[in-house]
Structure 1
Amino acid sequence: MTNPSDPDQARPANQGRRVAARNRAALIAAAREVFAEQGLNAPLSSVARLAGVGQGSLYRHFADRVALASAVLDENVRQIEAAAAEPDANLKSVLGVVTWHITRSTAFVDLLRVRGDDEQGRDLSARVRGVLGRCPSAGRGLSADELMLAIAMVSGAVAGPTLAERERLALAAWGLLGVEVGPLRSVELGDD
């Protein structure tokens, strides 16, 4: 710890925006994990602890629980958009990313349904629908609206205490719908 009365002790440099961006990304990743395991009512202190930051940092970035959950949802959609922009993207590969998020963000499916009536919920839904509408189809030729309905149906089937069980159920549900899904994966986003 620095002693303000000792001029020989250097004060740590303020790393500012660099650390702020890293903390925000860590908070979003931690929130995805904590909310998926414990639901949206999980203590925010658990999110801050997993992210390795103090609660003050959490509240500097996110005014409340809904703002934090919304940031996770926005990142989910940005990853889906990034997957669709990959050179070899097709519907199968994009649905692999969508399904990865469904199995890891089950608490957020409810939030999307609750917030579907607000502007942000409609915007997120329209962005996903737009991505699905632009994806080269792999087989079934479903419309974007039909795919959105299929995603809602699959997300309703995803339940289970373990990630492996949720993934198994999601893939089984897609199979019952006759839709082939690529490998379940996330997409690395570049710095904003």
Structure 2
Amino acid sequence: MARPKRQNDTPETRAQILQAARIEFAEQGIAAPLEAIAARCGIKRPSLLHHFSSKQALIAAVTDDILRMTRERLLSTISSPDGDYATTMQKIFGVLRELEREEQGVAGVLVHAMMAEDKGGPVTSKMAEFIDIIYASSVMAGSQKTQNPEEFRAAIAHLVIGEATRVALGSRAKALWGNGDGLTPLFSSYFLDDNTRKPDK
């Protein structure tokens, strides 16, 4: 006879744990205690460990969930181009910022997880895949500048990781970046020639 399902043994509880872990990891880093994560979603540590057998399993699940959401949003943006090449590319680079507004802690977790993992870890590898998708879509859309492929991909990586760091810092980013949004001019210098830049209004 199957055991009765406990109140906390539901997909909804699992989703709440992922959300709580995302916020705690973003605020405290990967060192955030499981007790704080459990308390944030109103359960005890043993209930959390029923869903995720270890902290490493929870970190992997959170980062997988974030990268899944990011990838889906990116592919949706690529498959539904709205406007010219420049507009489409700017929307692609805005995916992470847009997702952070809806799902607090996304960028912070990715940055913390990449810094904490060993060489060739799964988070870094999946971020590399994410960058490869942007690179491939840029090439298919027709870059406005002739670029060395390695240099072009490196430029994309700089923009993506820089944007993730800025978003992860939240209000603290102002001390480093100031009030200006550096993404647009950086994007323009890498991807647009003088004829495709939109005039200042």
Q: Retained in 2: the 8 A contact 1:32–1:72? A: yes
Where does residue 123 of structure 1 map in the other structure?
A: 125
- Cα distance in 2 between the residues matched to 1:59 and 1:84: 32
Where does residue 14 of structure 1 map in the other structure?
A: 5
Q: Retained in 1: the 8 A contact 2:17–2:37? A: yes
Matched residues, percent identical? 20
Where does residue 99 of structure 1 map in the other structure?
A: 97
Count of aligned residue pairs for this structure pair: 167
Q: Within 5 Å, give how 1:51-70 maps onto structure 2.
A: 51-70=41-60
Q: Within 5 Å, give how 1:1-192 maps onto structure 2.
A: 14=5, 19-86=9-76, 87-88=79-80, 90-100=88-98, 104=105, 105-115=107-117, 117-135=119-137, 143-157=152-166, 160=169, 162=171, 172-178=181-187
- State TM-score, norm by structure 2: 0.62
Quote the offset at 1:110 in angstroms: 3.0
- Cα distance in 1 between the residues matched to 2:13 and 2:71: 23
Give the RMSD, CA atoms, in angstroms.
3.8
Could you tell me which amino acid in structure 2 is paired with residue 177 of structure 1?
Answer: L
Quote the offset at 1:171 in angstroms: 6.9
Residues 176 and 28 of structure 1, relative CA distance in 2, 3 Å threshold: same
Quote the offset at 1:165 in angstroms: 5.3
- What residue ranges of structure 2 are gaps of 5+ in the alignment? 82-87, 189-201
Quote the offset at 1:53 in angstroms: 2.7
- What residue ranges of structure 1 are gaps of 5+ in the alignment? 1-12, 180-192
Could you tell me which amino acid in structure 2 is paired with residue 113 of structure 1?
Answer: M
- State TM-score, norm by structure 1: 0.65
